[in-house]
Structure formats: structure tokens, C-alpha cells
A and B are shown apart, each in its own frame.
Chain A
Amino acid sequence: MIKMKTRNVDVFYGENHAIKDVSIDILDKTVTAFIGPSGCGKSTFLRCLNRMNDTISICRITGELLMDDEDIYAKSVDPVQLRARVGMVFQKPNPFPKSIYDNVAYGPKIHGLVDNKSDLDEVVEKSLKRAAIWAEVKDRLNESGTSLSGGQQQRLCIARAIATAPEVLLMDEPASALDPIATAQIEELIDELRHRYSVVIVTHSMQQAARVSQKTAFFHMGDMVEYGDTTEIFTNPVDQRTQDYITGRFG
């Protein structure tokens, strides 16, 4: 099932044509990986999917971006509400300087998703469990989120992102600042999350893209060069540029 759909999307940063005519269907309950060299536009495009680029004044977006066939750039859409439905996790874990509990509780509270303390407790516990960090923090929920290790902080941020019951989860290099064990835990978590959400991940690690995703899109100089099943992209890509990039050759 198609969760998000873009048609002929162009993005400009001032004069810079950062994304050129990208049309893609992002499937529900699927992990989609965006890969490509630095500056290819993959993060820019990811940030279009929850209107994170709105905050950049020189950024201009044309074309159609739909979620469940609704235009996410329509006047009637509140970007803050949209970001609750399309959650995001960043490269560097960025927990609030608050308690572990409050980090997760923050979203449901400001969006008014819960009525009372016991409901909130439940959402916090469920989110931390789904982010596979509950066992490690359940006895120290009042400690600061920043006291956790890098890998734990990132899982806390994932718990925070899923606490608002999003439908899509965007991840921009979620494991690049983590050690291999923490990375493996995040990858295991992504595989769990895809049973509930549509996950889109930007990664520089092609092995990671190959490991976690079912669909892969390769970006190069603002173009989406190739999009298809991950197994096909990594064993038998159609486009020479994809081949050159994934095999580590000059394109």
C-alpha cells in the first residue's frame, strides 16, 4: 500500500536546484532507504516529507507531495500536526535536557493525545518498549535523557518520535554516530518498527541500507536515478551511476 506519494517534486535553495523532478511512491509498513553521495539531495528530499524545509526561508518546493492522497503542503495542513504524523530521528541523538520520562511524554502532552497521568505513563512505557530501551531505563525514568549512552539516547529519541503515534518515521543517518553494537540494536529496532510504520531512512552506509530496507532509492546530483527493490539495487542495478556508486567507483 502506498503511504506517501510525490510527483514531479523540485526543490530550490535560492538558485541551487537541489531536487529535480522526483516522483516516488513510499510504501506503508516498509523500510525505504535513500542512498547517494554527499550533496546528492537525499536529506533535502527526506525533509520535504514532513515539511522540515519550511523553516528555511530560501527553500522553494514545487510539485505534489501526498500522504494518503492528501496534499501535505495544502494551506489547511498544520506543519506541527503533520510532524506528529511524520516523525523524525536525526543523525546526532538530541534528547531534551529533561528526564527520560519527559522526553517521551513531551509530544503526547503538547499534541493533547492523553487525558490523564496514567494514560501518559502508559504511552511512555509503550513507546520505550517499542524503541527497545525500556528494560535499560525503567528504573531511572527521572534521570536526565542526556545521561544515557549515545546508542541509548538514539533509542530514546526514537521512543520520543513514536510516542505521538506517527504513521511515517523519517530517519536521517540514525546510526552514523553509534558504535557497531548500538548500530545493530537500531537496525534490529528499525526492522521491528516497519511492522507498524512506514520508515524512510537516509544512510551513507550502503551495507546498512542493504540490511534494513526493502526498497532503495539512489540519488545523484538532485536526480533520483534509480528506485527499486533493495535486493535488485544491490545485486543488479540498472543504471551505471548506481552501479558505480554502490561498488565504490568513480561515477
Chain B
Amino acid sequence: MEENAHIVSAFDKELAHIQDQISQMGEHAAAVLQTALQAVKKRDPALAQKAIEMDKILDDFELEIEERATQVIALRQPMALDLRVLISAIKIATTLERIGDLGKNIARRALVLSDGKKLKITSSVVQMGKATRKQLDAIMAAHTARDADLAVEIWENDVDLDEMYNSIFREVVTYMMEDSRKISAGSQLLFIAKNLERIGDHTTHISEMIYYVVHGKPLGDDRPKGEPLAYSEE
């Protein structure tokens, strides 16, 4: 730390503070997701309501990080690594806010689901939720450690979420075809799975930001992706 410290120590404090805010925001986004998934699993409207409430703080986090980063850019004219850290902080804050929104949307759907009968597929969706949460936790750890290799690994692992989504999609469609009374709940679960898949995509975006901070160039675009889903199955 000493060796790599700025001559102006207040600059270091401001950068450290923003990084800390990002870490806290990441934990909070993960908590929203976790609570929403619990609500889905337990069909608990109170938990769902709680997740919806929790999401509001993420908006405040995003605003504060944006404002602070903008101030540092204006007042200190950061260069190179410092500039990349700040630009990526703004982008990561926006991404985490979106992840929160998707978590909130899952909670809303959990509210609807809590009225009806539990579907067997729920456990697959909850499993996918756990895997998504794991990806999110891992990317925040990679962010704190500024570990580009770990970030790339997480980026590559997103393909698993894509494949989980595809298999849930097929499964749910099969259920809905078998029993039209399951269409309402089934479509809610489909949206939940789609939201999880989107959270996975946002997580890869954070991977790309970490890579950019460390290496100063984009990670590129050839991420392994799941098979494109056949929407009109014969």
C-alpha cells in the first residue's frame, strides 16, 4: 500500500471509499437476490415484500457512487489505472442496480406465486438461483481482490446458467402443455429463471469491467454461451 500510495493521500482515501461502497452495494444486491429466492422457495409474501423494500437502498448506493466518482474525476483529473477504476465503478454501480431490479422483479413474481400450488420445477429454479448467487458473490470477491483471472473464470462459467435456463425453459413448457392449470404459475417461474439468466449476464459485465481495470483493454466478446434456445419447438 505504502509503495503504491498517491502523494496526495486524500485521493487514496476517496478511491478506497468508492471501492468500499461498491463492495457494500454488491453485498446488498446479493441479499436482495437471496431474500427474493427464499420468498420463491417458501412462497412467503412477507419475504417477497422485504426484498422489494431492500432494493430501494441500491438506488441510493448507485447515486452516491456516481456522484463521488464524478467529483473525483472533476477535482483530481485521474489518469490511467485510477481513471479506469472510477469509470468502471460508475458502470459496476449501474450494473448492480439492475441486478437489484431483477431481484425485485423475482420478489414480485414470488408474491403472485404465493397464492397458488407449488410446482415441482420450483426446486430447479431455486437451484439456478443458488448458482446465480454464487456467481455474483464470486465476482464481488474478484472485484475486491482486483483479480482479472478469477473474473475471466466467472465470465466463462456463465454458460452454466445459460444451460440451466434452457433446461428449465423446456421443462416448464412441458408442464404447461400437460396441464393448462399450471400455465399461470409456470410462466411466473419462467420469468424468474429468465431474470436469473439476466443477472448472470450482468455478472459477466462486471467481469469485463474488472478485466478492463487490470489490463486496460476490453475482454472481448467471444464468451462461451449456451445453445440458442429454440422458441418454436416442433
Q: Which chain A residues have a beta carbon within 8 Å of chain B's beta carbons? A: 206-207, 210, 234-237, 243-244, 246-250
A225 to chain B, nearest CB (A): 14
| A-chain residues with CB within 8 Å of residue B229 when the two chains form the complex | none
- In the complex, are the beta carbons of B81 and A247 less than 8 A apart? yes
Q: List 26 A-B contacts (CB under 8 A).
A: A210-B79, A234-B79, A234-B80, A235-B80, A235-B83, A235-B84, A235-B216, A236-B80, A236-B84, A236-B217, A237-B80, A243-B80, A246-B79, A246-B80, A247-B6, A247-B78, A247-B79, A247-B81, A247-B82, A248-B6, A248-B7, A248-B8, A248-B11, A248-B79, A249-B5, A250-B7
Q: How far is the CA of A21 from the CA of B80 in the complex (A)?
A: 27
B180 at the binding interface (Cβ < 8 Å): no
| B-chain residues with CB within 8 Å of residue A247 when the two chains form the complex | 6, 78-82
Interface residues on B, range: 10 to 19
| A-chain residues with CB within 8 Å of residue B81 when the two chains form the complex | 243, 247
Identify the closest chain B residue to A251 (Cβ): B3
A244 to chain B, nearest CB (A): 8
| Contact A206:B5 (CB < 8 A) given known A235-B216, A236-B216 | no
**Cβ contacts B61-86/A at 8 Å (1 or 0 each):** 00000000000000001111111100
Per DSSP, are chain B's interface residues mostly helix, strand or loop, or mixed? loop
Q: How far is the CA of A234 from the CA of B80 in the complex (A)?
A: 5
B232 at the binding interface (Cβ < 8 Å): no
Q: Which 9 pairs show the lowest CB-CB distances between chains A and B? A: A236-B216, A246-B79, A247-B82, A248-B6, A247-B79, A234-B79, A248-B7, A207-B77, A247-B80
B79 to chain A, nearest CB (A): 4
| A-chain residues with CB within 8 Å of residue B78 when the two chains form the complex | 247
Could you say which of A207, A234, A237, A249 contacts B6, with CB atoms under 8 Å apart? A249
A232 to chain B, nearest CB (A): 9
Identify the closest chain B residue to A246 (Cβ): B79
Q: How far is the CA of A250 from the CA of B84 in the complex (A)?
A: 19
- Which of B3, B5, B6, B80 is the most central at the interface, judged by chain A CB atoms within 10 Å of its CB? B80
Q: How far is the CA of A247 from the CA of B79 in the complex (A)?
A: 5
| B-chain residues with CB within 8 Å of residue A207 when the two chains form the complex | 77
B166 to chain A, nearest CB (A): 38
B197 to chain A, nearest CB (A): 33
| B-chain residues with CB within 8 Å of residue A237 when the two chains form the complex | 80
B117 to chain A, nearest CB (A): 56
Known: A246-B80, A250-B5; 10 extra A-B contacts, CB below 8 A, are A234-B80, A235-B79, A235-B84, A236-B80, A237-B80, A243-B80, A247-B81, A248-B11, A248-B79, A249-B5
| B-chain residues with CB within 8 Å of residue A206 when the two chains form the complex | 77, 79
Q: How far is the CA of A244 from the CA of B79 in the complex (A)?
A: 10
Q: How far is the CA of A250 from the CA of B6 in the complex (A)?
A: 7
Identify the closest chain A residue to B87 (Cβ): A235
| A-chain residues with CB within 8 Å of residue B84 when the two chains form the complex | 235-236
Identify the closest chain A residue to B3 (Cβ): A250
Q: Restricting to B1-28, which residues have a CB under 8 Å from any CB of A?
A: 3-8, 11
Q: How far is the CA of A248 from the CA of B7 in the complex (A)?
A: 6
Q: How far is the CA of A6 from the CA of B82 in the complex (A)?
A: 33
Q: How far is the CA of A210 from the CA of B79 in the complex (A)?
A: 10
| B-chain residues with CB within 8 Å of residue A250 when the two chains form the complex | 3, 5, 7
Q: How far is the CA of A210 from the CA of B78 in the complex (A)?
A: 12
B13 to chain A, nearest CB (A): 14
Q: How far is the CA of A24 from the CA of B8 in the complex (A)?
A: 33
Identify the closest chain B residue to A233 (Cβ): B80
